């Protein structure tokens, strides 16, 4: 598949353009993404109270409009029961619409590593070279190349750790491309530079050991169904009986100790000198449950 030509685009999202009121049902989300529920709830509340501060961007198609930028605002209008939304309408090819949407997702302030990997992989599948992806996403060329290496080599374990945020992408690339000696040296250097902390270093070592023993990918094996025998049922029943008996014994011991404490408190509280001492020390109350037992109400 040939990479898309780097012809200059004839459109800019920020260029001067008229704003149109477009029905929501005519707009299609071409690159949907999940969002934080709390953040989205605040967005809906802000739009409900203050209104829409910035129109969304759409591209005209034969059947309607494709959403380019502003999925959150678009979905907030749906939640609020609106029928139309202000839109900036641009003219762009299908490839350009998808690219602008991807770049807009990557450019937002907070995005997960999974979003980043999926976006870069989508651009690569569409034929863009590493250099082109780097230029369009404003990411380092080596960084993009490293991610593509992990994806092409099927490094599920490394990608999962990168997605969770505790394995730096630089270390993941080193592990994928190097032998054990180079990997150990890179880990030592990362630890000395503060890139890997103590606990984090141990997790990376366990990951490398698991990768060496189990391979790059996770093994998705079905757990065989266990057949329960009559002997196993009997053992489980006897184990539960022993647990219940032990619980009863502990309850009896606790009740005896509580009875001793209540009896002792009754005798002490019948002594006027002891009561005077408590008042002088500012100790004039006790838990209600214990007080009821001392008075004989429980």
Q: What angle separates helix 156-164 from helix 141-152, to the nearest 10 degrees?
A: 130
Where does 16-93 sit in CATH, by number?
Answer: 3.90.1530.10
- pLDDT at res. 243: 86
Residue 71: pLDDT over 60: yes
- pLDDT at res. 85: 92
Predicted confidence (pLDDT) per residue in 227-248, tens digit = 667 788 888 888 888 888 888 8
Q: Domain extents for the chain?
A: 16-93, 112-217, 244-295
Residues 143-158 as b or e (16 or more Cβ within 10 Å = b): bbebbbbbbeeebbbb
Predicted confidence (pLDDT) per residue in 133-185, tens digit = 877 766 777 777 877 888 877 787 887 777 777 777 778 888 887 777 777 77
Predicted confidence (pLDDT) per residue in 7-43, tens digit = 444 444 444 467 889 999 999 887 777 777 888 888 8
- pLDDT at res. 236: 84
Residue 119: pLDDT over 70: yes
């Amino acid at each position: 598949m040939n990479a898309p030509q780097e012809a200059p685009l004839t459109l800019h999202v920020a260029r001067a353009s008229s704003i149109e009121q477009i029905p929501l049902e005519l707009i299609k989300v071409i690159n949907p993404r999940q969002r934080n529920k709390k953040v989205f709830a605040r967005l809906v509340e802000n739009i409900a109270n203050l209104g829409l501060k910035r129109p969304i961007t759409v591209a005209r198609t034969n059947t309607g409009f494709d959403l380019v930028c502003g999925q959150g605002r678009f979905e907030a209008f749906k939640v609020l029961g609106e029928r139309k939304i202000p839109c900036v309408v641009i003219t762009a090819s299908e490839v350009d619409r998808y690219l602008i949407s991807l770049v807009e997702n990557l450019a937002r302030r907070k995005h997960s590593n999974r979003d980043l990997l999926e976006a870069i992989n989508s651009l690569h599948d569409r034929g863009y070279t590493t250099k082109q992806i780097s230029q369009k996403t404003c990411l380092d060329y080596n960084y993009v190349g490293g991610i593509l290496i992990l994806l092409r080599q099927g490094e599920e374990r490394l990608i999962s750790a990168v997605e969770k945020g505790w394995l730096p992408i630089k270390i993941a690339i080193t592990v994928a491309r190097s032998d054990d000696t180079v990997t150990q040296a890179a880990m030592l250097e990362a630890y000395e530079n503060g890139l890997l902390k103590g606990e984090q270093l141990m997790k990376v070592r366990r990951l490398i050991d698991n990768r060496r023993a189990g391979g790059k990918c996770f093994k998705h094996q079905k757990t065989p169904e266990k057949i329960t025998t009559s002997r196993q049922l009997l053992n489980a029943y006897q184990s539960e009986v022993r647990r219940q008996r032990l619980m009863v014994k502990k309850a009896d011991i606790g009740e005896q100790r509580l009875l001793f404490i209540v009896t002792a408190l009754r005798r002490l509280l019948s002594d006027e000198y002891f009561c005077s001492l408590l008042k002088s020390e500012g100790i004039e109350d006790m838990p209600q449950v214990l007080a009821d037992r001392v008075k004989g109400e429980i």
